[in-house]
Amino acid sequence: MSGERPVPEMADTPGDRVRRIDARRNLEAIIAAAVPLLTERPRASMQQIAAAAGLHRATVHRHFPSRDDLLDELRVRALDETLARVEDVLGSASASAGETLERATAAMIAVGDSYRLYRFTTWRNPENDGNTQVLGGYLIGLLTDAQAAGEVRSDLAIRQLVAALGGLVWALLPQVGDGVLTVEQAARTVSTLLAAPKA
Which pTM value belongs to this model?
A: 0.84
Contact assessment for residue 86 and residue 138, using Cβ atoms and an 8 Å cutoff: yes
The CATH number assigned to the domain with range 68-199 reads: 1.10.357.10
- Looking at the DSSP bridge assignments, the partners of residue 195 are 152
Residue 9 has pLDDT above 80, yes or no: no
Residue 134 has pLDDT above 60, yes or no: yes
Residue 2's pLDDT is what?
Answer: 47
Residue 1 has pLDDT above 50, yes or no: no
**Mean pLDDT estimate for the chain:** 89
Residue 197's pLDDT is what?
Answer: 83
Residue 15's pLDDT is what?
Answer: 55
pLDDT 10s digits, 51-74: 999 999 999 999 999 999 999 999
Contact assessment for residue 46 and residue 70, using Cβ atoms and an 8 Å cutoff: yes
Can you tell me the mean pLDDT for 168-181? 97
Residue 191 burial class via C-beta count within 10 angstroms: exposed 0-12, middle 13-18, buried 19 and up = buried
3-state secondary structure string across 138-158 = HHHHHHHHHHHCCCECCCCCH
Q: In this structure, which topology does domain 8-65 adopt according to CATH?
A: Arc Repressor Mutant, subunit A (1.10.10)
For every residue of 93-105, DSSP letters joined together read --S-HHHHHHHHH
Q: How far apart are CA 68 and CA 75, in angstroms?
A: 10
Can you tell me the mean pLDDT for 170-182? 97
User: Which residues belong to CATH 1.10.357.10 in the chain?
Assistant: 68-199
pLDDT 10s digits, 137-163: 999 999 999 999 999 999 999 999 999
At residue 195, the 3 state secondary structure works out as strand
pLDDT 10s digits, 72-126: 999 999 999 999 999 999 998 677 999 999 999 999 999 999 999 999 998 777 7
